[in-house]
Amino acid sequence: MLVAGILQFLFPATVRKPKFLFYENAVDLIHILFNSLFYLTFFGIAASATRRFLVDHTPWLIFDWAADLPLFAQALLMLLLLDFLVYWRHRFEHRISLLWPIHLIHHTSRRIDVLTTHRLHFLEVMLGGIIVGWATSVSGLSRDAISIALLVYIHYNHFIHSNIDVRFSSPLRFILVSPFMHRWHHALDKEGHDKNFGVVFAWNDWVFGTAFHPSHEPACFGLELDQAHEVNESWLRQQIYPFRIWVQKLAALTHIRRQVS
Ligand SMILES: [Zn+2]
Ligand SMILES: [Zn+2]
Protein backbone atom coordinates (compact mmCIF):
# COMPACT_ATOMS: atom_id res chain seq x y z
CA MET A 1 0.00 0.00 0.00
CA LEU A 2 2.91 2.33 0.82
CA VAL A 3 4.53 1.87 -2.62
CA ALA A 4 1.22 2.50 -4.41
CA GLY A 5 0.67 5.55 -2.19
CA ILE A 6 4.08 7.01 -3.11
CA LEU A 7 3.54 6.30 -6.84
CA GLN A 8 0.16 8.03 -6.89
CA PHE A 9 1.78 11.02 -5.15
CA LEU A 10 4.54 11.17 -7.82
CA PHE A 11 2.46 10.30 -10.93
CA PRO A 12 -1.18 11.23 -10.20
CA ALA A 13 -3.87 10.49 -12.78
CA THR A 14 -5.97 13.30 -11.32
CA VAL A 15 -4.05 16.15 -9.71
CA ARG A 16 -5.89 17.24 -6.55
CA LYS A 17 -5.34 18.21 -2.96
CA PRO A 18 -4.19 15.30 -0.78
CA LYS A 19 -7.08 13.20 0.43
CA PHE A 20 -5.87 13.46 4.04
CA LEU A 21 -7.21 17.00 4.14
CA PHE A 22 -10.73 15.63 3.82
CA TYR A 23 -13.15 13.98 6.22
CA GLU A 24 -13.54 11.19 3.65
CA ASN A 25 -10.03 10.12 4.58
CA ALA A 26 -11.03 9.50 8.20
CA VAL A 27 -13.77 7.15 6.98
CA ASP A 28 -11.21 5.20 4.93
CA LEU A 29 -8.88 4.95 7.93
CA ILE A 30 -11.67 3.59 10.15
CA HIS A 31 -12.43 1.00 7.42
CA ILE A 32 -8.74 0.01 7.36
CA LEU A 33 -8.57 -0.27 11.15
CA PHE A 34 -11.77 -2.31 11.47
CA ASN A 35 -11.00 -4.58 8.50
CA SER A 36 -7.55 -5.26 10.00
CA LEU A 37 -9.10 -6.28 13.31
CA PHE A 38 -12.04 -8.04 11.65
CA TYR A 39 -10.89 -11.59 12.45
CA LEU A 40 -10.85 -10.74 16.17
CA THR A 41 -14.59 -9.94 16.11
CA PHE A 42 -17.58 -12.26 16.33
CA PHE A 43 -18.09 -11.88 12.56
CA GLY A 44 -14.47 -12.86 11.89
CA ILE A 45 -14.84 -15.95 14.05
CA ALA A 46 -18.13 -16.79 12.25
CA ALA A 47 -16.38 -16.39 8.85
CA SER A 48 -13.58 -18.75 9.95
CA ALA A 49 -16.10 -21.33 11.19
CA THR A 50 -18.05 -21.14 7.88
CA ARG A 51 -14.84 -21.56 5.87
CA ARG A 52 -13.88 -24.58 8.03
CA PHE A 53 -17.35 -26.12 7.49
CA LEU A 54 -17.12 -25.67 3.68
CA VAL A 55 -13.58 -27.08 3.57
CA ASP A 56 -14.60 -30.12 5.64
CA HIS A 57 -17.47 -30.80 3.20
CA THR A 58 -15.45 -30.41 0.00
CA PRO A 59 -14.42 -33.95 -0.97
CA TRP A 60 -11.67 -33.01 -3.46
CA LEU A 61 -8.58 -30.87 -3.95
CA ILE A 62 -8.89 -28.56 -6.97
CA PHE A 63 -5.26 -28.77 -8.11
CA ASP A 64 -4.43 -32.22 -6.75
CA TRP A 65 -2.54 -32.95 -9.98
CA ALA A 66 -0.34 -29.84 -9.64
CA ALA A 67 1.30 -30.51 -6.27
CA ASP A 68 4.65 -31.40 -7.91
CA LEU A 69 4.81 -28.39 -10.25
CA PRO A 70 7.43 -25.66 -9.63
CA LEU A 71 6.57 -23.00 -7.04
CA PHE A 72 6.03 -20.30 -9.69
CA ALA A 73 3.53 -22.46 -11.62
CA GLN A 74 1.60 -23.32 -8.45
CA ALA A 75 1.46 -19.66 -7.40
CA LEU A 76 0.16 -18.71 -10.86
CA LEU A 77 -2.56 -21.39 -10.69
CA MET A 78 -3.65 -20.09 -7.28
CA LEU A 79 -3.74 -16.51 -8.55
CA LEU A 80 -5.78 -17.52 -11.62
CA LEU A 81 -8.34 -19.29 -9.44
CA LEU A 82 -8.57 -16.45 -6.88
CA ASP A 83 -9.02 -13.84 -9.58
CA PHE A 84 -11.70 -15.90 -11.37
CA LEU A 85 -13.66 -16.34 -8.12
CA VAL A 86 -13.31 -12.65 -7.24
CA TYR A 87 -14.52 -11.66 -10.75
CA TRP A 88 -17.77 -13.63 -10.33
CA ARG A 89 -18.29 -12.65 -6.68
CA HIS A 90 -17.89 -9.01 -7.70
CA ARG A 91 -20.22 -9.38 -10.70
CA PHE A 92 -22.92 -11.03 -8.57
CA GLU A 93 -22.57 -8.25 -5.98
CA HIS A 94 -23.48 -5.76 -8.70
CA ARG A 95 -26.28 -7.80 -10.26
CA ILE A 96 -28.10 -9.30 -7.24
CA SER A 97 -30.24 -6.66 -5.53
CA LEU A 98 -29.75 -8.16 -2.05
CA LEU A 99 -25.94 -8.07 -2.39
CA TRP A 100 -25.62 -4.61 -3.98
CA PRO A 101 -26.32 -2.68 -0.70
CA ILE A 102 -23.25 -4.42 0.79
CA HIS A 103 -20.86 -3.79 -2.12
CA LEU A 104 -22.24 -0.27 -2.71
CA ILE A 105 -20.12 0.90 0.26
CA HIS A 106 -16.96 0.31 -1.84
CA HIS A 107 -18.44 2.66 -4.46
CA THR A 108 -19.17 5.55 -2.07
CA SER A 109 -15.69 7.03 -2.55
CA ARG A 110 -15.67 10.10 -4.81
CA ARG A 111 -11.87 10.29 -4.80
CA ILE A 112 -10.45 6.96 -5.93
CA ASP A 113 -7.03 6.26 -4.50
CA VAL A 114 -5.11 3.55 -2.70
CA LEU A 115 -7.19 3.98 0.49
CA THR A 116 -10.38 3.15 -1.44
CA THR A 117 -9.12 -0.47 -1.59
CA HIS A 118 -10.17 -0.92 2.03
CA ARG A 119 -13.53 0.85 1.88
CA LEU A 120 -15.55 -2.34 2.33
CA HIS A 121 -18.60 -3.31 4.37
CA PHE A 122 -17.74 -5.93 7.01
CA LEU A 123 -20.13 -8.43 5.34
CA GLU A 124 -18.10 -8.12 2.11
CA VAL A 125 -14.89 -8.73 4.08
CA MET A 126 -16.63 -11.76 5.60
CA LEU A 127 -17.85 -13.10 2.24
CA GLY A 128 -14.48 -12.52 0.58
CA GLY A 129 -12.65 -14.17 3.49
CA ILE A 130 -14.86 -17.27 3.29
CA ILE A 131 -14.41 -17.66 -0.50
CA VAL A 132 -10.65 -17.01 -0.51
CA GLY A 133 -10.13 -19.13 2.63
CA TRP A 134 -12.08 -22.02 1.11
CA ALA A 135 -10.29 -21.80 -2.27
CA THR A 136 -6.80 -21.74 -0.74
CA SER A 137 -7.62 -24.58 1.67
CA VAL A 138 -8.97 -26.92 -1.03
CA SER A 139 -6.46 -25.91 -3.72
CA GLY A 140 -4.02 -28.71 -2.87
CA LEU A 141 -1.13 -26.30 -3.56
CA SER A 142 1.87 -25.62 -1.33
CA ARG A 143 1.70 -23.04 1.48
CA ASP A 144 4.48 -21.00 -0.15
CA ALA A 145 2.60 -20.87 -3.47
CA ILE A 146 -0.59 -19.76 -1.71
CA SER A 147 1.31 -17.06 0.24
CA ILE A 148 2.91 -15.70 -2.97
CA ALA A 149 -0.46 -15.63 -4.78
CA LEU A 150 -2.15 -13.81 -1.88
CA LEU A 151 0.70 -11.27 -1.65
CA VAL A 152 0.53 -10.56 -5.39
CA TYR A 153 -3.27 -10.26 -5.23
CA ILE A 154 -3.23 -7.86 -2.24
CA HIS A 155 -0.52 -5.61 -3.71
CA TYR A 156 -2.11 -5.62 -7.16
CA ASN A 157 -5.45 -4.63 -5.61
CA HIS A 158 -3.74 -1.58 -4.04
CA PHE A 159 -2.10 -0.81 -7.40
CA ILE A 160 -5.37 -0.75 -9.40
CA HIS A 161 -7.03 1.55 -6.84
CA SER A 162 -4.16 4.03 -6.75
CA ASN A 163 -4.52 7.41 -8.45
CA ILE A 164 -1.71 6.64 -10.89
CA ASP A 165 -1.74 7.66 -14.54
CA VAL A 166 -1.23 4.12 -15.83
CA ARG A 167 -3.18 2.50 -18.64
CA PHE A 168 -2.13 -0.46 -20.74
CA SER A 169 -2.22 -0.65 -24.51
CA SER A 170 -2.70 -3.84 -26.57
CA PRO A 171 -1.99 -6.64 -25.97
CA LEU A 172 -1.34 -6.01 -22.25
CA ARG A 173 -4.77 -4.43 -21.69
CA PHE A 174 -6.37 -7.79 -22.57
CA ILE A 175 -4.21 -9.56 -19.96
CA LEU A 176 -3.85 -7.29 -16.92
CA VAL A 177 -6.14 -4.77 -15.21
CA SER A 178 -4.67 -1.26 -15.04
CA PRO A 179 -5.53 1.53 -12.55
CA PHE A 180 -7.21 3.29 -15.50
CA MET A 181 -9.40 0.24 -16.19
CA HIS A 182 -10.47 -0.03 -12.53
CA ARG A 183 -11.15 3.72 -12.31
CA TRP A 184 -13.81 3.11 -14.97
CA HIS A 185 -15.36 0.49 -12.66
CA HIS A 186 -15.80 3.28 -10.07
CA ALA A 187 -16.96 5.85 -12.64
CA LEU A 188 -20.19 7.77 -12.19
CA ASP A 189 -20.30 8.11 -15.99
CA LYS A 190 -23.08 5.81 -17.21
CA GLU A 191 -21.01 3.95 -19.82
CA GLY A 192 -18.76 2.61 -17.05
CA HIS A 193 -21.56 1.09 -14.95
CA ASP A 194 -21.26 -2.66 -14.28
CA LYS A 195 -17.97 -2.89 -16.21
CA ASN A 196 -14.43 -4.04 -15.40
CA PHE A 197 -15.03 -6.42 -12.46
CA GLY A 198 -11.56 -8.00 -12.58
CA VAL A 199 -8.75 -7.23 -10.12
CA VAL A 200 -5.57 -8.80 -11.58
CA PHE A 201 -6.38 -10.41 -14.95
CA ALA A 202 -8.40 -8.42 -17.47
CA TRP A 203 -9.36 -11.36 -19.68
CA ASN A 204 -12.33 -12.38 -17.52
CA ASP A 205 -13.94 -9.03 -18.42
CA TRP A 206 -13.04 -9.36 -22.11
CA VAL A 207 -14.23 -12.99 -22.35
CA PHE A 208 -17.48 -12.49 -20.39
CA GLY A 209 -18.39 -9.19 -22.10
CA THR A 210 -17.92 -6.70 -19.25
CA ALA A 211 -14.73 -4.94 -20.39
CA PHE A 212 -14.76 -1.18 -20.99
CA HIS A 213 -11.55 0.52 -22.11
CA PRO A 214 -12.13 3.91 -23.80
CA SER A 215 -9.40 6.45 -24.56
CA HIS A 216 -10.34 9.01 -21.87
CA GLU A 217 -10.56 9.11 -18.08
CA PRO A 218 -13.97 9.10 -16.29
CA ALA A 219 -15.40 12.52 -15.45
CA CYS A 220 -16.23 11.66 -11.82
CA PHE A 221 -16.64 8.81 -9.33
CA GLY A 222 -19.11 7.58 -6.74
CA LEU A 223 -22.82 6.82 -6.67
CA GLU A 224 -25.93 8.24 -8.29
CA LEU A 225 -27.40 11.01 -6.11
CA ASP A 226 -30.44 8.98 -5.03
CA GLN A 227 -28.14 6.33 -3.54
CA ALA A 228 -25.37 8.69 -2.41
CA HIS A 229 -27.64 10.78 -0.19
CA GLU A 230 -28.56 7.65 1.78
CA VAL A 231 -24.94 6.64 2.50
CA ASN A 232 -23.23 9.70 3.85
CA GLU A 233 -19.62 9.90 4.92
CA SER A 234 -20.09 8.00 8.17
CA TRP A 235 -18.51 4.58 8.74
CA LEU A 236 -21.32 3.57 11.09
CA ARG A 237 -24.08 4.60 8.67
CA GLN A 238 -22.30 2.68 5.91
CA GLN A 239 -22.22 -0.48 8.07
CA ILE A 240 -25.92 -0.11 8.95
CA TYR A 241 -27.02 0.72 5.37
CA PRO A 242 -27.55 -2.85 3.95
CA PHE A 243 -29.58 -3.88 7.01
CA ARG A 244 -31.76 -0.78 6.61
CA ILE A 245 -32.37 -1.61 2.92
CA TRP A 246 -33.19 -5.26 3.69
CA VAL A 247 -35.67 -4.24 6.40
CA GLN A 248 -37.31 -1.83 3.93
CA LYS A 249 -37.55 -4.58 1.28
CA LEU A 250 -39.01 -7.02 3.83
CA ALA A 251 -41.55 -4.45 5.02
CA ALA A 252 -42.59 -3.72 1.41
CA LEU A 253 -42.95 -7.47 0.72
CA THR A 254 -45.04 -8.00 3.88
CA HIS A 255 -47.24 -5.03 2.92
CA ILE A 256 -47.88 -6.47 -0.58
CA ARG A 257 -48.76 -9.90 0.88
CA ARG A 258 -51.24 -8.31 3.30
CA GLN A 259 -52.89 -6.45 0.45
CA VAL A 260 -53.16 -9.66 -1.66
CA SER A 261 -54.61 -11.80 1.18
ZN1 LIG B 1 -17.86 -2.92 -7.76
ZN1 LIG C 1 -12.58 -0.90 -6.45
Q: Tell me how far apart the alpha carbons of residues 10 and 233 are, in angstroms, rounded to a whole number.
A: 27
80-128 pLDDT, tens per residue?
999 999 999 999 999 999 999 999 999 998 888 898 999 999 999 999 9
Residue 42 lies in a domain: yes
Q: Separation of 163 CA from ligand 1 center, angstroms?
A: 17
CA of 147 to the centre of ligand 1 (A): 25
**Is pLDDT at 17 greater than 90 in this prediction?**
no
pLDDT, tens digit, for every residue of 164-211?
989 998 899 999 999 999 999 999 998 989 999 999 999 999 999 999
Task: Decide if 77 is inside a domain.
Answer: yes
Is position 71 within any domain? yes
Question: First-to-last CA distance in the chain?
Answer: 56
Whether 126 maps to a domain, the answer reads yes
| CA 35–ligand 1 middle distance (angstroms) | 18
DSSP code string of 112-165: -SGGGGG---HHHHHHHHHHHHHHHHTS---HHHHHHHHHHHHHHHHHHHS-B-
Distance, CA 69 to ligand 2 centroid (Å)?
A: 33
207, 87 contact by CB (below 8 A): no
- Cα 146 to ligand 1 centre (Å): 25
Ligand nearest to the CA of 183: 2
**Count of domains in the chain?**
1
Ligand number, closest to the Cα atom of 159? 2
Q: Is residue 199 part of a domain?
A: yes
For residue 105, tell me if it sits in a domain: yes
Number of the ligand closest to the Cα of 116: 2
Range of the domain at 226: 2-14+24-260
* Main-chain dihedrals φ then ψ at residue 221, nearest 5 degrees: -125, 165
Which ligand is nearest to the Cα of residue 91, counting in written order? Answer: 1
Look at residue 19 and tell me if it is in a domain. Answer: no
Is pLDDT at 41 greater than 90 in this prediction? no
Residue 47 is assigned to a structural domain of this protein: yes
